[in-house]
Amino acid sequence: MTPRSIIIDTDPGQDDALAILLALAAPELDVIAITTVAGNVPQPLVTINSLGLVALADREDIPVYRGCERPLLRTLVTAEYVHGPTGVDGATLPVNSVGVAEGHAVDHIISVCLDAPAASVTLCPLGPLTNIGMAIAKEPSIIPKIREIVWMGGAFDEPGNTTPAAEFNAYVDPHAAHIVFTSGIPVTVFPLDVTHKALMLPRHVEALADYGTAPAVAAAGMIRFYEVYDIDKYDLPGAPLHDPCVIAYLIDESLFSGQQHHVVVDTTNEETIGRTTESTGTAPNATVMTEIDAERFFDLVTTRIGNL
């Protein structure tokens, strides 16, 4: 089977880190590039972290492009209170000997898509949609080249995790999210409604750490740091692995189920900005995932990263 060509757009973040490692461990996927966007922590930290993760996986052949420094129209909001000052607290990542690729992430996304056959490139944004929205706005002719956008973001029946109305990635850049959902590109969404069911319990963390490999030990350390916030805030028994859901879906779609809806992003009301809602009576523009086979998901995450 020909691997699926993907670009990972990311703002690491410990759960982003596990998503990247999972993708690099997946023969089903061809990671063309990693592009970075300010989100969980600012630029240049998200770029430094991404470079460190490809070095950790011994995949410095994958280029890392530095992207947008701030949302399209709003002031940047970050989440060091969850991820720590580096964004990947809990692990020390190696230095990448290659360094950041030349050029801007948005321009690279555009270039890859323009050179690709129709409906062949999958974009995997794990953070705010700034780079993706900017690429679509700058060069709409890339739209037919994109097979699917698979995004971790939003919240529907589940309350937001940044405001009562909004999930972090949607809140940080709702205007970019609006561009994506009105682009006509097939979008698959992993909101908090499903990612809060992807809880990495202590037994999963121990199973991962027991592999003893450098990626497994680093991943377990990051999760042990990251889980403290969600355990304290939500009284959960473990950390939700939000972003790895995107990559797991691309490896094995049967892990998840959902429904098609017309998704609207609030961009105007400051009290509810970033809220994602399902509009009735309008043609669907996205598949919203709601259910996960959690045990199979964690078996995939632990075995793939453990053997990386």
Residues with catalytic function = 242
The three-state secondary structure class of 34 is: strand
Dihedral sign computed on CA atoms, order 293, 79, 164, 284? negative
The three-state secondary structure class of 263 is: strand
The three-state secondary structure class of 129 is: coil
For residue 44, cis peptide bond before it (omega within 30 degrees of 0): yes
Beta strands in the chain (DSSP E): 4-10, 29-36, 64-66, 121-125, 146-152, 187-190, 199-200, 239-240, 256-265, 276-279, 286-292
Task: Name, in order, each residue with C-beta under 8 angstroms of 242's C-beta and a sequence gap of 6 or more.
Answer: 15, 152, 190, 192, 195, 198
- The vertex-289 CA angle with 278 and 223, nearest 5°, equals 120
Could you give the count of Cα atoms lying within 13 Å of 24 in the half-sphere of its Cβ? Answer: 27
Cα 264 to Cα 52, 53, 195, 261, 283: the distances in Å are: 36, 34, 20, 9, 12
CA 260 – CA 276 distance, rounded (Å): 14
